[in-house]
Amino acid sequence: MSHVIDRRLNGKNKSTVNRQRFLRRYKTHIKKAVEEAVGRRSITDIAGGEQISIPGRDIDEPIFHHGQGGRKTGVHPGNREFSTGDRIPRPDGGGGGQGGSQAGDSGEGMDEFVFQITQDEFLDFMFEDLALPNLVKRHLTGTDTFKPVRAGISQQGNPSRINIVRSMRASHARRIALSGSSRRRLREATQELELLRQQQPDNLTDQKALQEEIEALQQRIDRIPFLDTFDLRYNLITKQPNPSSKAVMFCLMDVSGSMTQATKDLAKRFYILLYLFLRRNYERIEVVFIRHHTSAKEVDEEEFFYSRETGGTIVSSALRLMQQIVDERYAPGEWNIYCAQASDGDNWNDDSPICRELLLKQIMPAMQYYCYVEITPREHQALWYEYQQVAESFSDSFAQQQIVGAGDIYPVFRKLFQKRMVT
């Protein structure tokens, strides 16, 4: 019996397979640690690895052991201190490794088990079970990729794609068709010879003639080849256009004067998470950054995250600019269009109804998904309630959430982009 031993090495000379098994086993602890790490990290260090600690009691594994065996009779006397259903109090003093306020002279325990996960493993756990909602694969003119698909059976093809079962079936059918009459006559001649030998054992002349006929028929059957080139069948492979999941994500961030530096940092954390998620999980995706205060402007990544420009607040300027960019560059029939908007909810009062009308009549019909994140500890303002009306009309493609502190960013992000069941 052969045994295959996987000795591929990972970091710190650890077996790759064993490490993957370990990560699966303690997946719950790791995911919890990842969620906590996202909330406390800085913007620049949000995608690094993480040091994970697991309590010693949780790494114990069940084992099989032999009992004492045999039949035993035991007598268990009662006591005056405890009765059925009583809870036994925890003993005083501390146990090694388990913590405690008092020292003890007995007890055993284990310290927490600490290990390091890599950046890729950290991101895998961070973005697990997340996906862009309502993503549709579309045929893109001039950019279609092709995938090989089975298209039946052919009599010509590559030897590597030969279909053995079909070839043997064709060979068998051919041999039956070519030798059917000969085999039938062979069976008849064999029966006649046996009958002749029983009834007329002295008639050697007819017996010899039948014997010669049987030999001729057998030779004729044997000359038919077992397998001929005519019998060969091949799996036919054709190229089928593979539609692409091409998408664009619009990032709209409010940089008005009401957005404090702390609020902007929270918004940047959210967009960095979004940016990492898109770049890691999708190949064909474009990200368009739009900053807005009184007016909106399309910017690059550097300016989006680090520019200090500020001003008043007119949210509709960003929506109009986004609609203009969609009309010029991203046809809804070819692109999956998404938008993520972050704001503190502060807006010019007369502008909030305009935002609602723009979304209802122009933007949302072409959107796959629109998410609005309001970063504020205060009560919601007019913009939030106007967006609620949009959510009622587009319940499947519009979502809004509130972020108060850094600890809310990752849970909100998972709610907005949680993978949905396909119905």
Q: What does the DSSP assignment read for 80-144?
A: SS--TTPPPPPPSS-BTTTB-SS--SS----PPEEEEE-HHHHHHHHTTTB--TT---B--TTT-
pLDDT at residue 334, rounded to an integer:
81
Give me the mean pLDDT over the 26-55 stretch. 63
**Residue 232 · residue 167 · CB < 8 Å:** yes
| Top mean-pLDDT range of 14-18, 85-89, 121-125, 162-166 | 162-166
Q: What 8-state DSSP symbol labels residue 166?
A: H
Give me the mean pLDDT over the 300-316 stretch. 83
At residue 370 the predicted structure's pLDDT band, cuts being 50, 70 and 90, is very high
Q: Kindly tell me if the per-residue pLDDT of 324 is higher than 90.
A: yes
Cα separation, 323 vs 252, in Å, equals 12
At residue 374 the predicted structure's pLDDT band, cuts being 50, 70 and 90, is very high
Q: What is the pLDDT of residues 233-253, one digit of tens each?
A: 899 888 877 666 778 999 999
Give me the mean pLDDT over the 187-201 stretch. 86
Q: What does the angle CA 269 – CA 271 – CA 276 come to, to the nearest 5 degrees?
A: 95
Residue 60 DSSP SS3 = coil
Cα separation, 347 vs 146, in Å, equals 48
Query: pTM of the full predicted structure?
Result: 0.58
pLDDT at residue 3, rounded to an integer:
52
Domain 247-416 = CATH 3.40.50.410:
yes
Q: What is the pLDDT of residues 248-288, one digit of tens each?
A: 999 999 888 888 888 888 888 888 888 888 888 887 788 99
User: Which of 5-14, 119-128, 147-156, 217-226 has the lowest average pLDDT?
Assistant: 5-14
Give me the mean pLDDT over the 368-393 stretch. 90
Which of the two residues, 178 and 65, has the higher pLDDT score? 178
Alpha carbon of 320 to those of 252, 376, 422: distances in Å? 11, 24, 32
Torsion of CA 123, 277, 282, 299, to 10 degrees: -140
**Residue 157 · residue 235 · CB < 8 Å:** yes
Q: What is the pLDDT of residues 108-159, one digit of tens each?
A: 444 566 656 666 766 776 677 777 887 776 545 445 567 788 888 888 888 8
pLDDT at residue 402, rounded to an integer:
92
Kindly tell me the sign of the dihedral angle through the C-alpha atoms of 77, 82, 88, 90.
negative
Cα separation, 259 vs 375, in Å, equals 9
The token pair at 46 is: 């949000």
Which of the two residues, 32 and 216, has the higher pLDDT score? 216
Q: Which residues contact 190 (CB under 8 A, 6 or more apart)?
A: 214
Alpha carbon of 86 to those of 77, 81, 335: distances in Å? 16, 10, 67
Average pLDDT, the chain: 78
